Each structure stands twice: as structure tokens, then as C-alpha cells.
Structure 1
Amino acid sequence: MPTETFEFRVEARQLLQLMIHSIYSNKDVFLRELVSNASDALDKLRLAALRDDTLDADVSDLHIDIEADGEARTLTVRDNGIGMSYDEVAELIGTIANSGTAKFLEQLRQADEAADAEGLIGQFGVGFYSSFMVADEVTLVTRRAGETQGTRWSSRGEGTYTLETADEAPQGTTITLHLKPADPENQLHDYTSPWKLREIVKRYSDFITWPIRMATQAPAGDDGDGAAAREPETLNSMKALWARSRDEVKDEEYHELYKHISHDWQDPLETIRLQAEGTFEYQALLFIPSHAPHDLFTQGYKRGVQLYVKRVFIMDDCEALLPPYLRFVKGVVDAQDLSLNVSREILQQDRHIQMMHRRLAKKVLSSVKGMMTAAPDRYATLWREFGPVLKEGLVTDSENRDALLAVSSFATTHDAAEPTTLQQYVERMKDGQDAVYYMTGDSRESIENSPHMEAFRARGIEVLLLTDPVDEVWTDTVAEFDGKPLRSVAKGELALDGDDEVKPAEDREKRNEEYAELLTWMKEQLGEDIKEVRLSSRLTVSPACLVSDTNDLTPALENLYRAMGQDVPRAQRILELNPDHTLVKGLNRALRDRADRAALAEDAELLHGLAVLAEGGRPKEPARFTQLLAERLERAL
């Protein structure tokens, strides 16, 4: 058949130029695309040979060859796979000129954002044409396995391409790139350099099933006649640990892979394997590090795992596969098929991605739960290093909230050394206790010394001590655990078990009447600084404390939201007075005896300031508070 020349349509030429100059952010990926296509061709031949034992094809040494010629500036990628017929070349390699191109370009022109444009391009499988990023001309010679005649396709990527039959064509496909002139100032993109080709194959195609070979120069004389011989060098390891059975892989091999992909010097804390089968198949090999990186909480921290498709490297730090609260997890996910854009650099948000995201998160959390019983020491290390990050999921991941609560541990008044799980807390609850009590603060010491803890300490009621900044947020989101409400000891009114025995209802009512005038008067004196003044059931030693209303934000949470740029109104606090404290009794008696109201107003201000200081706050007017306090001390002396 004579050589035929075909002309690309105008739209196809525009699309080709766009892809060559705009889509790919890294030109190195052209070799990844060619090697990936070659690997697919080898897979197809192996499958065809299994299905048809009469197929006239050589499957004894399936492989991929890479040849570079620095003088001629050519790069050849060859496989001995399934190959293509003349009609298949016209259809598959000419896909870029199909009838949908015009419609696609119209959508492309309407896309406002570059990311939107790349998403649209994902409809077309034209990775082969990335070769024109680095080549002035591309020639393809191919022969389908079982056929005797081959096909030659050639184009300069401008306006036309040629098709002709080729009588002398080996089985498989050979693609020769006539590279663009070398740039002497940029040797990093010299695609005839053996080290550069090794680097690209190692990065993108190391786990390809088939050997990728490159002929390299051997020392002169090795072939016996003094000439330099060329020896084949296998560039890829072909060791995809996630594709091998667990019995075939040693822990040292897993650890070596983890250190390679994470750049960590320590062994991982836990190795997690997952193999999903069915309509959508993928394999995952995930690692939990043994220590948190220093930049884990910085905005620029790179999270995500490596993504492969059929063992071909697609991208580092694939954020779409794991939620942000699992950003410390490292590893590899290898899918059989995914909806990718033409450069394979941006994932389309389809149901497969969402499916993997959910499954991987659940797998990691189930593995953490297994560590709690099977390896408590390693679990303790994990929670110490990554507990604050995992607790972010209590706010953001409602689907896995119960699983996260089940694997969470917290400091507690029950044990000064060992944290507790919520399940353990519930099992230790006193008879009649109906809530899980907690308190947030800057440190364990500050919480334990808080006035809010006095009644709980007196009654021996366990309280969770939450000191991570994220605790302020998730406790405002999570309402209960195992049917038991989570209740802050510093919010709302408390009715602790045993109150009726300690102070019967009639006694409490009598007390309220006794202090009614004081409560009303102090509210008038303090004005907008507080919402309410009431008697306290949580104080046994301190004269007063400030609490937040049940549904109000705590001051710490208000400050946290403001630091994040959110404008939240400042909530008024409730001042609680201890009716058994000498200061409160004296103030009430003086008010009833009609003592100097101006002096009493200063006493009320001091009492409020003491409550502010007790919770680690700062009086509204520190200088005035100090002056009043000094005057009172002077009088006492």
C-alpha cells in the first residue's frame, strides 16, 4: 500500500499545539506515557496468548527496550507486545482527529480556569502525543502479533501525518523520537543521556511488571575485537511489594520502601496492606510513621500517598486518597484504572476516587484499633505523636466519627500516668452518673487546679483533661459517646449525683432566697461584663468562678476562631458564687446590713477579677484590679 498523507483538521491542530505547549507541567512524563503504553501492549499480548493457543506470537521474552543515540539525537522506545494493525493505527493513533474535537475545543474555550481545562482534556486518551513536547518528528512502526505485515506512522506534529505499510516490521511497536536540538544550558533535559533516562524510569516506571532495558556502553575490548560493546541494563526493579503476597515480603523490604518514599530514617510504626477486588480493583500499602515530622501542622506540609495506575507512577502526595486528619500516613496506592486527565497529573473526582478515599480511611482506623489491643505500646506511641491530628477528624469526618472516638485516648484524673479511652471511662462511671465529664485547658496542671474541678474532686468523679487546641473544637461538635452525653465541667449548671443528700432541695431553695439580693445587686454592679450571677454547686474551696452557658462558645474557642479570621461575638460569662465561702458570706452580710455600697462595689469587682484570674484570664483593667487588691491588703494589715 502506498504512503498516504492525512491532514489534521484545524481543531485537531489547535488541540495538538495546546497539549504540547500547555498541558504538561513536566516534560519528563512523555517517557512515562510511552513506557506505560508499551507495558499495556505486553499485558494484552500475554492475555491474548493465554486465550488463544494458536496465536503465532513470541512470548518467550516480553520486555521494553530504550535506545538513545546522542549523535543522531534520537530516542527509541520498543516493545514486543501485541502491536497494532493498519486500521488500529489509523483509529487509535489518530484519535486526536476524531469528530469530538470541535465540541471539546468549544468547551475548552468556555472554561474559565486552567484546572477546568485540564479536567475537560481528561476525555481524550492522547498521552502518546506528549512525545512532541521533546521531538520535532515521531515515527511509529508496529506489527500486530499473528500478522505478517506492519504499519509505519509518521508526523512532525504540525498539520499532517503519514501512513504506509511496512514489510519488515518486528512484532510489537517501535516509537522513534527525533529529538529537538540540545540546549547546552539545560542538560537536565537531555533525553539521550543514560543517567537522565535511568532517573525518569526509576521515578515513574520502577514497578512496571516487565523489564525495561537500555543498551549501555561497555569498556572497549570486551567483545574480543577491541571495539566497545553495548550491554543491556535493566532499569526498573519490577518489585511492587504491594502486588506480592505477605509471605513473600520481609519486614525489612517494607521498611526500605517506606524510607524511600517518606525520606524518613526510622522504621515505620505500622504497615497496612489492602487489596480491593471486584468491579474496581486496587492495592494499597500504607505506613504509619513512628514519629511526627516537625512541620506536620504547618500550612505547606505535603500530605497524601503516592498514586500508581497499573504500577505506573502518576503523582506524589495524592491528597484525594486520604482525609487531612490522616496526612501523616505514607504509602502507595496502585489502581487498575482511574479517570485521569491527559497528563495524569490531576485526578477527576469520580466515584472510584471517593470509594478509595472512604475505604482507605476506614482501613487505617481499623488498623489503629487493632493496635490498641495487639500492640498497646505502639498504639501509645501513635497517639502521643499523632493524636492531635486524628482528633481533627472528629470535627471534619462525621462518617468515621464513631470509629475515631473508639481509638481516641485522653488524659484523666483517674490515672496521672496513663491515658484512658472513652470506653474505659464509661465502664468506670459511678452509679447514677449520666454524663462523660471533661475540661479543656492549656495544661494538665492548670485544669487540675481550676475551681471548676472542686466538686468533682470532692465526689471522686473522673474528669477527662483535654489540653490540645483541637479539643476546644471537637468537644463543641461531638454530643455523646455510647449514649452518654459529653459535658464540660466549665459550662452550664451542674446537678451532680449526691447533691440532694449533701444539700436537700429545701436547703438549696432557702439559700437562694438568702442570697437573692446579693445576686441581683452584683449583676447590676458588674453590668455587661457578665450574663448572670448565681450560686454554684461546683465550688467547694474557691469563692467564685466563671462558667459559660450551655450553648455558648468558651473564651478559648472564641480566640481560636478569631485567630482563624472568623469574626465571632464575645459571649457573656456566668459568675458563680460559693455560698459556703467566707468572702461570699461576708459580702452578703454587709449588703444586708446596708454597709458602704461604694466599698462593696469594689469588693464585687475584686471577686469577679479573682474568678477571671482563676481560669487563666486577665482582668479587664489590670492596673485598677491591682490597685484595689493592694488597698484591701493594706487595710487587712
Structure 2
Amino acid sequence: MSNEQEYRFQVNLSGMINILSNHLYSSPNVYLRELLQNATDAITARGQLDPGFIGNVTVEISGSGSQTTMTVEDNGVGLTEEDIHQFLAMIGHSSKVGQDFIAKETSFIGRFGIGLLSCFMVSDEIVVLTQSVKGGPSMEWRGKPNGTYTIRQLSTKLSPGTKIYLRCKPDSEPYYEPQMVEELLFYYGALLPYPVRLQANGVAKTINESRPDWIMQPELARGRRREVLAFGEKLLGEPMQDFIPLQTANGRTGGIAFILPHSVNLNTRRSHKVYLKQMLVSDKAENILPEWAFFVKCLIWTDELQPTASREHFYEDERLESVREELGQSIRNELMRIGDYEPDRLKRIIQLHALSMKALAAQDEDFLQTIYRWLTFESTYGERTFGELLADNKKIFYTLSVDEYRQITHVAAAQSMLVLNGGYIYNHELLERLSILLPELDMERLLPEDVSLSFEDLTNEERNQFYERIRLADGALQRFRCQIQLKRFAPAELPALYTLSKESSSLRSLEKAKENSSDLLASVLGNLGTSFTESAYSTLYFNLNNPLVQKIFNSADNQMFTTAAQMLYTNALLMGHYPMTRQELGVLGQGMVKFIDWGLSSNA
């Protein structure tokens, strides 16, 4: 015989309230959101029974300090006595859907049956007066945070709907202040399609009377620029630069993407305001737009996404993924439309948010073809748009890294070569895509050693004259696997240029890593270094047009010449932004000491 017995879970309501206030909800402010949401759902339910029904919500504040009372009244569907037992007294049960309450499609916002409990964060008692449109007596429900409640029938019959009374509990006075309540009602209910009224201090006010008609038809916003920007500033708290209407194919999600008036960091997490069934449920939605769309802040309204229990975020499911993709496509399409009809407007947007535009263009070839002329690049001709660079009718070169660009920019500029810095994020990807999209474009990657092709060779007489000097300099730099070339090139102010082949670059990286590694790892890296062939040599070009180089190569002092060659080598490394090894730093230090000593000796 089994001794097994069945028990029910006992819910500690005080503990539940603590969880709500400290873990589920971000602030006690949400109590008003939950009340407004319940009213919205009640009005929605009555509207399904009576399509011609017009709903409204009234919030009234009376008294002051700890004696303040708030009432929230709606003319929605109301509750029967059975509804009260089932939905107000059973935590975790919702009147909105069946058992599969997360996945099932619903016309309501609340689905978790815990929203009313949030009122215990600001009140020690909740009183609900309600009359169901289905008939039956009017009912009163009183709940307390200790888990007890009472229900009684009223002797008088109320109008259909629900009225909730809250009495301010100690230290909760700020949540009953009329100004704060007004701000919260607008914050959560600005887009509701029925009036939300506030009565306080003898004054009645409709909170959402300025709800614009383009809310449900975002494409109408294009012709209402001033109104849309003013509305966005009111809801988002800052003036915006521009905006883009948003709409999914099924029309169930839409909104306005406001373009921020300042550039933002690529890693900035941009949160958006999302209205579910036209009531704000989240102002922290970070995952509703693609990551590249960090240059906008949105007002989005939807009736198809599923909120989490706190109603402050949305489930990451296939539906959200589809909505995110469609909203991103709306932004793409509108920017392309602006490019076709308002190119100056697009140019301003791109200049303000160049990084965002490049991020999008790197993913979307159609968009790249639309905006490439307005994308800006650092070049040897200055900071220019790609369209301006094309107008110069010159062959375009680009580098893959910032270091490559820095190493050759002075020499390339002196040779009148047009070189673009492809090292910044997205730049070289965009340039490579453009070389494919625009086959008529004369553009190719430029390596540092390629710049030397424009250098002027020495005459036979000069080669004979400086043969021994070149051989001596080669020997001085042999330990650095660097070979010497003596050329003439511009600018004359540059004494030397250091370039690396692919193999010598890899070897240099290995040697640098070896210095900062443990003995075991250094041994492994050393073995890897032996696999490089004799071609793993760098090249140091001495510029015979430079007066200092001329003096050095015409010097009769071999020791001074050798030291000067090594110093020019380390100087070229510094000019090219190459990280130096310990050995090279040692040569630089020793050389400086020697030249100081020679200088002091000559003045003695």
C-alpha cells in the first residue's frame, strides 16, 4: 500500500511581491502600466462582442500624502463572480488565453495573470468593483498582500466595466503625484486609440488627445515632417535629425525610425520603444532591429510579437526574427528611395552616420550601388567622397590596413598617386565590392613595395660611385634581414622608406611574438621562423634626393656611415608605424649615444 499523498504548492504572496518589485519589474512605475494594460484588454474584449463600442479609461487622484487614493476605471467587458474567483485569486492564470498562453495568438497584452499584483508595490490593499457585460450582479473584490481576499455582491448595479481603487502605502507618495501619474499615462498610453483621462486637483485632462493618424499608416508620415519630428521629440526626449517610416508586409508591425542627430559608436546598444496593441510595453527593446541599424531610435507598434512575463522584452523566436528582417528592409528601401528622389538629404544622413551606412552597404549590394558616391574615404587627396574621387579620372589604389596606408601615404602623394585608406572598418570590403560592381573602374590594391615602381634608378656613374657604400649598408642591416636599395624619389624630405614583402611581414610578426612568449613557445615560434625562405627579406629604400642621405653616402667615415644607416633604418620603422623588436630598439639607443658623443667631441 502506497503512503504517497498529494499536496498543493503554497504561494507566499508577500514573497511574490518582493520578486515582482526586485527582480521581474524594473520599477514600481509599472503598476500603472499594468492597470492601463488590464483596462486595454478589457476594452478590447468588449469591442469583440460589440464592434461599435467606444472605450475609455479614467484615472482619478484624490487626497494628499499617505491619504492619497487613486482610482482607475474602464468601460470594458468587466468580470463575473466566476471570473473573479478564476482570474483575480489564482496567481499565474490569465483570462486572455488558454493553457498554451505563450505560443498562442492573442488579441490581448496581458497573458500571465500576475499584473494586478504589481499594485501591491504601492498599495497595501487593492479594491476592485466590476460589472460584467454578460449580466449578473455587480461585484467587489478586496485583496491584501498577506494573501487574503474577500468577495461580495453589491446591492447597487454598476455600469459595465471595472473600477480599481488603490490607497497610497507609506513611502509610495511619489507614485501618486498627479504630475508623475500624467507623465506615466502618456509614457505608456500615448498611442492608445481611445481617450485616457486624468482627473486631479479639480482639473480633467485627456492625456492622448494628439494621437496622429499616421500611427496606423506610417507611409503618411512622409508628408508630415514637422509633425512627426515634434511627436518623436516628445516621446523620445530629444530632437531628431530625420526619420524613416517602417512597415512589415502583413501590416501588423510598423513605426517610425528616427535618425539620431549625432554620430554614435558602432558598439552602442540602441533601445527602442515598442507598443503592443498600441500600448507601450518596452522602452528597452534592443533586439527588434538589425545590429547595423544603430543610428536610429524607433517608435514601433505591433500586434504580433510575444512579450516576456515582465512585458519589458520580447521572446526571441522566428516571428521576432522575421519582423526584425522586415524592419531592416524598410530602412534599406527608404534610404534607396531618398537616394533616388532626394540625394542631398541622403548625403546629409550618410555624412552624419557614415559608419552605419558603410555597415549596411557592406551587407547589401543594391544599397551600395545606391549610396557609394556619397561614402567618404581618407585618401592622398584628402577626405573626399567616392564620387569626388571618381571625378578626378585617376587610377585608384587602396590599402588593406591603416599601417600600410601610413607607410606609403607621403611617398604616394608625392608621386601624385590616388590612394585610399582601406584599413578602417568596412572600407576595403566596400572597395573590393565596388571593383566588382563597377567593372569599368580602374582600381586595385596597392602594397607598400608597389610604390617603389615609381622610384627613379641611379645612373651608371652613381651606381659605381656608391657601390661600396650600398654593400657596407647591406652588411650593417643583414642581421635584420633587410636589404638596401638606393633610389631617387619624392618627397625629398623623406630620407628612407621601409617596405615588407608578405613573407618578411609574417617573419617579423613571428619574431615580435617570440620576444613576448615563454621559453617553450619561443622555441616553437623559432622553429616556425626557420621555414621562411631567403625571400623573406624587407627592403630599405634610401632617397638620394634627400640632402642628409647625400651627406651620409658621401662620408668617408665607415663607422659613422654604418651607424647612420642603422639609425635611418630604425627611423624608417618609426615613420612606418612598425612595432620594433628589442634588438632594433637597442640599435636606436646605441646610435643616439654615438652621435651625441661624436657631436660633443667635434665641439670640444
Tell me the equivalent position of 1:91: 86
> How far, CA to CA, are the matches of 1:493 and 1:474 in structure 2?
23
* SS in structure 2 at match of 1:345: coil
For 1:1-41, what per-residue CA distance to the aligned partner results, in whole angstroms no more than 9, with x for missing partners?
Answer: xxxxxx99513645455325543231111111111221222
Identify which of 602, 609, 624 aligns with 2:570: 609
> How far, CA to CA, are the matches of 1:319 and 1:136 in structure 2?
35
Preserved contact between residue 218 and residue 245 of structure 2 (Cα < 8 Å):
no
Preserved contact between residue 305 and residue 332 of structure 1 (Cα < 8 Å):
yes
Tell me the equivalent position of 1:271: 243
State the shift of 1:545 in Å. 2.0
* SS in structure 1 at match of 2:117: helix
Identify which of 467, 479, 489 aligns with 1:527: 479
> How far, CA to CA, are the matches of 2:124 and 2:342 in structure 1?
59
Preserved contact between residue 362 and residue 430 of structure 2 (Cα < 8 Å):
no
C-alpha spacing 1:172/1:36, structure 2 compared with 1 (3 Å): farther
Preserved contact between residue 284 and residue 312 of structure 2 (Cα < 8 Å):
no
Preserved contact between residue 412 and residue 462 of structure 1 (Cα < 8 Å):
no
State the shift of 1:63 in Å. 0.6
Identify which of 193, 216, 224 aligns with 1:250: 224
For 1:474-505, what per-residue CA distance to the aligned partner results, in whole angstroms no more than 9, with x for missing partners?
Answer: 45777831464986535565798x99xx99xx
> How far, CA to CA, are the matches of 1:438 and 1:161 in structure 2?
74
Gaps of 5+ in 2: 1-6, 95-109, 438-442, 458-462, 513-524
Preserved contact between residue 131 and residue 137 of structure 2 (Cα < 8 Å):
yes
* SS in structure 2 at match of 1:545: strand
- The answer on 1:450 being equivalent to 2:434 is no
C-alpha spacing 1:82/1:515, structure 2 compared with 1 (3 Å): farther
> How far, CA to CA, are the matches of 1:157 and 1:8 in structure 2?
20
- The answer on 1:327 being equivalent to 2:299 is no
> How far, CA to CA, are the matches of 1:358 and 1:495 in structure 2?
48
* SS in structure 2 at match of 1:157: coil
> How far, CA to CA, are the matches of 1:549 and 1:167 in structure 2?
95
C-alpha spacing 1:610/1:360, structure 2 compared with 1 (3 Å): same
User: More deviation in 314-323 or 404-413?
Assistant: 404-413
> How far, CA to CA, are the matches of 1:74 and 1:97 in structure 2?
27
- The answer on 1:179 being equivalent to 2:180 is no
Preserved contact between residue 188 and residue 196 of structure 1 (Cα < 8 Å):
yes
> How far, CA to CA, are the matches of 2:599 and 2:412 in structure 1?
26
C-alpha spacing 1:489/1:21, structure 2 compared with 1 (3 Å): closer
Tell me the equivalent position of 1:259: 233
Identify which of 405, 415, 419 aligns with 1:463: 419
- The answer on 1:377 being equivalent to 2:344 is yes
C-alpha spacing 1:124/1:612, structure 2 compared with 1 (3 Å): same
Matched-pair identity in %? 18
Tell me the equivalent position of 2:174: 188
Tell me the equivalent position of 1:303: 270
* SS in structure 2 at match of 1:11: coil
> How far, CA to CA, are the matches of 2:118 and 2:368 in structure 1?
44
> How far, CA to CA, are the matches of 1:374 and 1:624 in structure 2?
65
State the shift of 1:305 in Å. 2.4
Tell me the equivalent position of 1:282: 253
Tell me the equivalent position of 1:350: 317
Identify which of 197, 200, 206 aligns with 1:234: 206
> How far, CA to CA, are the matches of 1:273 and 1:171 in structure 2?
41
Preserved contact between residue 362 and residue 368 of structure 2 (Cα < 8 Å):
no
> How far, CA to CA, are the matches of 2:215 and 2:468 in structure 1?
72
- The answer on 1:68 being equivalent to 2:61 is yes
C-alpha spacing 1:86/1:465, structure 2 compared with 1 (3 Å): same
Identify which of 456, 461, 472 aligns with 2:424: 472
Q: Which one-letter code corresponds to 1:546 in the other structure?
A: Y
Taking structure 2 as the reference length, what is the TM-score of the superposition?
0.70
State the shift of 1:333 in Å. 1.2
C-alpha spacing 1:235/1:188, structure 2 compared with 1 (3 Å): same
Tell me the equivalent position of 1:3: none
* SS in structure 1 at match of 2:569: helix
State the shift of 1:387 in Å. 1.5
> C-alpha root-mean-square deviation of aligned residues, in Å?
5.2
* SS in structure 2 at match of 1:200: helix
For 1:361-403, what per-residue CA distance to the aligned partner results, in whole angstroms no more than 9, with x for missing partners?
Answer: 3433443344444333333333333224554x37xx9755884
State the shift of 1:97 in Å. 5.4
* SS in structure 2 at match of 1:480: helix
State the shift of 1:277 in Å. 4.2
Q: How many residues align?
A: 530
Identify which of 419, 440, 446 aligns with 1:489: 446
* SS in structure 1 at match of 2:182: helix
Q: Which one-letter code corresponds to 2:185 in the other structure?
A: V
Gaps of 5+ in 1: 1-6, 51-57, 100-121, 219-230, 504-510, 560-568
> How far, CA to CA, are the matches of 2:399 and 2:192 in structure 1?
53
Taking structure 1 as the reference length, what is the TM-score of the superposition?
0.66
Q: Which one-letter code corresponds to 2:270 in the other structure?
A: R
Preserved contact between residue 208 and residue 238 of structure 1 (Cα < 8 Å):
no
Identify which of 194, 197, 206 aligns with 2:181: 197
> How far, CA to CA, are the matches of 1:495 and 1:178 in structure 2?
82
C-alpha spacing 1:426/1:517, structure 2 compared with 1 (3 Å): farther
* SS in structure 1 at match of 2:91: helix
Tell me the equivalent position of 1:224: none
For 1:256-280, what per-residue CA distance to the aligned partner results, in whole angstroms no more than 9, with x for missing partners?
Answer: 1233245445xx44320012243x8
C-alpha spacing 1:629/1:326, structure 2 compared with 1 (3 Å): farther
> How far, CA to CA, are the matches of 1:436 and 1:134 in structure 2?
67
> How far, CA to CA, are the matches of 2:120 and 2:255 in structure 1?
34
Tell me the equivalent position of 1:565: none
Q: Which one-letter code corresponds to 1:139 in the other structure?
A: V
Preserved contact between residue 452 and residue 490 of structure 1 (Cα < 8 Å):
no
After TM superposition, the structure 1 = structure 2 runs for residues 29-44 of structure 1, keeping only pairs within 5 Å, are 29-44=30-45
Tell me the equivalent position of 2:143: 155
Q: Which one-letter code corresponds to 1:462 in the other structure?
A: L
